[in-house]
Structure 1
Amino acid sequence: MPPVRRRRPRPPDMTVPAGARPVFTDGACAGNPGPGGWAWALSKAEYAAGHEAASTNQRMEIRAVLEAVRANDGPLLVVSDSTYVVNCFRDRWYAGWLERGWLTSAKRPVANRDLWEPLVTLVTERGDIAFQWVKGHSGHEMNDFVDALAVAACANQ
């Protein structure tokens, strides 16, 4: 009989700051790497999107959050379908990166440090931002909306 794999217990969801507005974020890439697009939205009327000529999907996911946090003051609940982004803050991966001088636990440089560093600084200095994961491509209206915006930004370069 094969050994039983035990998962570490999932940390609890982050405490949402009082008065936090949900901001939905997503990134897309045509090829990986390839042309990339990012988007964030507070609503279907209040949003932004952009692109990078040569990028990766993870890079665009991070960029979407960075642009959302830069553009929106006050308490935020960042809703993302990127476990990489959400887990970085929920599980405080960034704290280890900072302690190790922007190295991973495997002693490799943190990928996309040029985006992570300003994002981590903004989130930790503000202290009024929480993160929540949503399953992508699952019929969630606002996640589907930012996905469409990111894909369009990617394609319209």
Structure 2
Amino acid sequence: MSYKFPFKQKNKKPLAIDHGIYQAGLHLFADGACEPNPGPGGWAFVVYKDGQEIHAESGGSPQTTNNIMEMTGALRALEWLARSCPDRQASLHCDSQYVVNGCNDWRLSWKSKAWKRGKGEVKNLELWQLLDAALERYPLRLTWCKGHAGITGNERADALSVEAMRNVTVTLQTRSCNITSRDTPRNSAEFREDGGDYLTRKFREIMKE
């Protein structure tokens, strides 16, 4: 999922999008969402063949970041390609420049430097290494697409990732409510004995000895 900046960009012409390029061949769209960031998140990818959706997957995590979800969506898409269409040419589209540039260019430099960036380790290293391995199995260059621009596949992947994120959030809220309901107040009848004494009979007997 791409986010709009709170300021206006000056002299910026609208990006012309050729929707026809997605109507022929095999196209995958990957996306991720996280709100707040970090916080609960969701990822998704959708597969289109000649303009028709043929497959979709999504999932979520209770504590993650937007970048991790974007990367996970792309990774799951590549894994699906390697399993389902190993000999088929395909295009993978993502609205995250972090993922697109990382997969196409940055990872090669990081890999040649033992996965170091400057003096430190590359952030999200494990996922980058998994993406590197996936791209070795199914070599391709990811294509950046503008988010929220009416591109059917991107909009669909975005909606699925947001839905997965919300499902995770609801699950967390439900668990929290269940835990709270099981925490019986200490002044309830379950914990009181004669006169509101919080000590159980067993403990009173021990103290009398």
Interval containing the TM-score (normalised by the shorter chain):
0.7 to 0.9
| Residue pair 1:80, 1:134 contacting (<8 A) in 2 also | yes
RMSD (Å), alpha carbons = 1.6
| Residue pair 1:30, 1:155 contacting (<8 A) in 2 also | no
Residue identity (%): 35
Q: Which runs of 5+ in 2 are unaligned?
A: 1-23, 169-209
- Which of the numbers 121, 142, 149 marks the counterpart of 1:131? 142
Structure whose CA Rg is larger = 2
Report the Cα distance in structure 1 between the residues aligned to 2:62 and 2:56, rounded to whole angstroms. 21
| Residue pair 1:76, 1:130 contacting (<8 A) in 2 also | no
Report the Cα distance in structure 1 between the residues aligned to 2:61 and 2:75, rounded to whole angstroms. 14
Instruction: Count residues with an aligned counterpart.
Output: 136
Aligned pairs for 1:55-94 within 5 A: 55-72=64-81, 73-74=85-86, 75-90=89-104, 92-94=105-107
Please tell me the residue identity of whatever aligns with 2:34. C
| Residue pair 1:40, 1:64 contacting (<8 A) in 2 also | yes
Q: Which runs of 5+ in 1 are unaligned?
A: 1-18
| Residue pair 1:36, 1:52 contacting (<8 A) in 2 also | yes
Return the structure number with greater relative CO, CA threshold 8 A, min gap 6: 1
Aligned pairs for 1:4-23 within 5 A: 21-23=26-28
User: Structure 2-normalised TM-score?
Assistant: 0.61
Q: Cα offset for 1:142? A: 1.2
Q: Cα offset for 1:89? A: 2.9
Report the Cα distance in structure 2 between the residues aligned to 1:145 and 1:126, rounded to whole angstroms. 24
Q: Cα offset for 1:45? A: 4.3
User: Structure 1-normalised TM-score?
Assistant: 0.80
Match of 2:115 in 1: 102
SS in 2 for 1:42: strand
Q: Whose helix proportion is higher, 1 or 2?
A: 2
Match of 1:156 in 2: 167
Q: Cα offset for 1:103? A: 1.1
